[in-house]
Amino acid sequence: MELRRFLRVLRRALLLVLVLALLAAGTLAFLRWRGFLLSSQQVNPKQWEVFGVDVSAYQGVVDWEILAGQEVDFAFIKATEGSGMQDAQFKANWAGALQAGVRPGAYHFFSYDSPGETQADNFIAQVPVTEGALPPVVDLEFYGQYLEQPAGREETLAILNPLLQRLEEHYGVKPILYVTYRSYYRYLAGGGYGDYPLWFSSPGVVPVSTGGWDFWQYSHSARLDGYYGSESRIDLNVFRGTRGEFEAFGTPA
């Protein structure tokens, strides 16, 4: 009797495990089908209409015609960092992307160690107002000592807000904010930044954010042809919208 009861319980448990496994497999397949899960090597995923990369001096010299030939629609290009650093490849990358028909956007690596006004001066001095370019980007993440000891919210926003204001005044559009989950929820969530476009870093899995998002950086480790630097990998991104919406995105009012 005890053995029969045990076997019934065992059969029920195995059936439950099988049902859960099928549900998990079905959910995974659905997420992949919709493009909500992407491989780090998945170039120009078919579920998204607009595909792009981001580059800096680490990718070295870029052959933009070769890169564009891999269905790259846009590129975020590092321009500056803090109040004094300029990316050595920015000017060549900006000109090369434009010539190859890749829509460029310049990004600034935010510093917790200098005023927002001087950071804006650094960026504006490097990045020309260019018709058709994507809005400027402020890359808000953690580095160095701030990985273990993040700066406080109040002191960070005292730097960030003047930087955003200066960039918007100069370029005529709201800057894009590049964020990780950690930086977004520490500094931006619930803080009145809902009308700023967001570029979310979320490797492999579609961003889940109360503030929505406009660009998704889904890979930090892809390999494409056409760049020759110390870094063999390149970041991949998609735009959340149609091609028509992308073409209208970030155009001054």
Cβ proximity of 49 and 242 under 8 Å: yes
Residue 13 lies in a domain: no
pLDDT band, residue 7 (cuts 50/70/90): low
Decide if pLDDT at 1 tops 70. Answer: no
E-state strands within the chain: 51-55, 61-62, 74-81, 85-86, 103-109, 137-140, 176-179, 198-201, 215-222, 227-228, 234-239
Single-letter residue type at 198: L
Domains in the chain, number: 1
Q: What is the pLDDT of residue 86?
A: 98
Does residue 25 form part of some domain?
Answer: no
Range of the domain at 169: 35-248
Q: For residue 26, tell me if it sits in a domain.
A: no
Q: In the predicted model, what is the mean pLDDT of residues 165-186? A: 97
Q: Classify residue 181: in a domain, yes or no.
A: yes
pLDDT at 51 over 70: yes
> CA-to-CA distance for 201 and 193, rounded, in angstroms?
17
In a domain, 223, yes or no: yes
Q: Is residue 62 part of a domain?
A: yes
Q: Is residue 28 part of a domain?
A: no
How far CA 90 is from CA of 14, 58, 75, 212, in Å, comes to 59, 11, 12, 29
Q: Give the CATH number for residue 194.
A: 3.20.20.80
How far is Cα 34 from Cα 46, in angstroms, rounded to an integer? Answer: 9
Instruction: Please give the model's pTM, rounded to 2 decimal places.
Output: 0.90
**Is the pLDDT at 33 greater than 70, yes or no?**
no
One-letter amino acid at 119 equals Q
